[in-house]
Structure 1
Amino acid sequence: MKRKINLLLLLLWLFHAANAQKPVAEYKRLKAYEAVPRPTTAIIVCPGGSYCWLSKRHEGSEVARWLNRNGIAAYVLHYPTAGWAGFALHSRLYFPGRQYPDQLTAIEKAIRLVRQKGYQRVGVMGFSAGGHLALMAAENLPKDARPDFVAPIYPVVTLSHAVTHRRSRRGLLGEWRWRNATMRDSLSMERHANRIECPVFLMNCKDDPIVDYRNSMLMDSALTVHHVPHVYIQYTTGGHGFGASPHKTSKEAIGWLDRFLIWVRGL
């Protein structure tokens, strides 16, 4: 019996090691897409993936190249996630890591590094769980490390409301803490919107089958109550996970890509 337990622990460790990411200090997780000529605005892109994995192409490299084509420097952040083994096997019960506050540490370091390059403005654009991370950066980082603007796109917002995205909650907080009411409330972005001091571009679709569209409505209401400058755009159709694909919201009068460019250039 003891031999079987030891074998199981060894297998869990191997799965954990296979999915481990480089330490934040090395920062190979931040991939640069720098537009030419040198722009004045840079955006750190946080892909989605429920804090369990990352949509590196649709919500990462494709978004960065779109920003480049429109004269904006982009940096895609591969922040820590649970990994497929961590999620499927609950291995973080035995090997803690790649959970809150690791993601917040990653975005803070990314903002500080990008800001050192001399851009006039450094913003954060996040998709789904990455949108939650963008909002965390605006609410929870030290003031000298907060972004100049944030763009949460079809974001996870709440961790304590009935409409929460449970997989993201578990991915962020881990197996030990995802049921902790204090932790969930502290990381429900709509509950602390008063901390946000930068402009916010918020967008989602009402037919979103993954993250309940009311997440964004909660955030919009909180931003309005606290007089935070923001734009909230809700599309009727479009779903979830489309990243920079223009056809998803192009049926509307103006797609989200064009609306964002108008907004960010007007800041």
Structure 2
Amino acid sequence: MTSIQKIKVTGLFLFLSFSCLAQEEITLYPGSVPNAKDVPNEEVKTPSQVVSKVSQPTLSVFLPPKEKATGAAVIICPGGGYGVLVIKREGYDVADAFTKQGIAAFVLKYRLPSEKTMIDPSIGPLQDAQQAIKTIRQRAKEWNVDPQKIGIMGFSAGGHLAATAGTHFTQSVLPATDGISVRPDFMILVYPVISFMEGIGHKGSGANLLGKSASAEQIKLYSNELQVTASTPPAFITHAGDDTVVPVSNSLIFYEALKKNNIPSELHIYSKGEHGYLKVPAFDEWFGRCLHWMATAGFVK
């Protein structure tokens, strides 16, 4: 997302095009990374900012001006099938849009599951999501954030991670939480992977996270429609009916599970959009509905 700034200099107008950058990118863990093997960092980033082989997780901080801040914050988990991270389009660009609305945003570069870099690859991404929630609550005053208005957002497999954070918080996978809740206050799920069950789930994401020989118990545990309870946070969900990569049934079954448990949530299904919303719906269309839900749900004024 690009902004145009106009500056008048001695009667002339200069036009400067720039992209909003994070104020800072911090290492996610203050000490050693839990569940990590001692191996070299082999992270790769393409010119279009698609990142692979992530073993050193970070949090990029995007803060609105203090006078505009609403107190709400969103942790953004880019998608990529647990194999890569589409970190600009499904991360930095979205964070920029949130800050323009007075909402703090934090792009999570979470570890991608790998037996080469992790002792237990299946819990690595969730550890990073929980650590992000913990970190923002710890530093809420510094970042001008309300610790009770911290949500998590995810696209595609990042949506699976966000939904996992919203349904698995009662059992932290961190070494210690220091008494800080790792439950997100709300979820925003954009064409999300929800289930790994046969006929619904996204096999690529499931294989990358759990391995190709995952047990039936593991598959059920990480099929998040089966993990919804009365304490699951509310959600905004959007998906396209013509999505041939991640079936829209993922969003439908998760919404049904939320409704069954009386969790106030909102679901928007577009007839067209395929996977990724590359052409339709327009960003302002679905993002505007998301902002409206955040307002009606009481997370922003």
TM-score surpassing 0.5?
yes
Write the deviation string for residues 94-115 of structure 1: whole angstroms up to 9, x where unpaired. Answer: 6655721111110111001112
Q: State which of 17, 25, 36 in structure 1 corresponds to 2:65.
A: 36
Q: Aligned-pair distance for 1:209?
A: 2.4
Runs of 4+ in 1 over 4 A off after TM superposition: 94-98
The answer as to whether partners of 1:138 and 1:196 remain within 8 angstroms in 2 is: no
2:188 counterpart residue number: 151
Question: For residues 203 and 196 of structure 1, do their structure 2 counterparts lie closer, same or farther at Cα, with a shift above 3 Å needed?
Answer: farther
- Give 1 or 2: higher strand fraction: 2
Shift of 1:138: 1.1
TM-score, normalization: structure 1? 0.80
Equivalent residue in structure 2 for 1:113, among 125, 132, 135: 135
Residue pairs, 1:60-79, within 5 angstroms: 60-79=91-110
Could you give the per-residue CA deviations for residues 83-134 of structure 1, whole angstroms, max 9, x where no partner exists? xxx6xxxxx3x66557211111101110011122232211001101111111
1:18 is aligned to 42
> Does the 8 Å CA contact 2:118/2:124 hold for their aligned counterparts?
no
What percentage of aligned pairs have identical amino acids?
Answer: 30
**Structure 1 unpaired stretches of 5+:** 1-12, 87-91
Q: Shift of residue 185 of structure 1?
A: 0.3
Task: Tell me what 2:13 maps to.
Answer: none
Cα distance in 2, alignment partners of residues 181 and 227 from structure 1: 28
Across the aligned residues of Structure 1 and Structure 2, the Cα RMSD in angstroms comes to 2.4
Q: What residue in structure 2 maps to residue 212 of structure 1?
A: 247
- Equivalent residue, structure 1, for 2:14: none
Change (3 A) 1:168 1:33: same
For this pair of structures, how many residues does the alignment match?
234
Is the 1:47–1:55 contact (alpha carbons within 8 Å) kept by the matching residues of 2?
yes
Counterpart in the other structure of 1:103: 125
Contact kept, 8 Å, 2:55 with 2:112, in 1: the verdict is no
Deviations, residues 131-189 of structure 1 (Å, cap 9, x unaligned): 111111111113821011111111001112312100100111134xx431110001101
Matches within 5 A, 1:130-209: 130-142=158-170, 144-175=181-212, 178-194=213-229, 196-209=231-244
- Could you say which structure has the greater relative contact order, defined with CA pairs below 8 angstroms and 6 or more residues apart? 1
What does residue 7 of structure 2 align with? none
**Distance in 1 between residues matched to 2:259 and 2:234, nearest whole Å:** 12
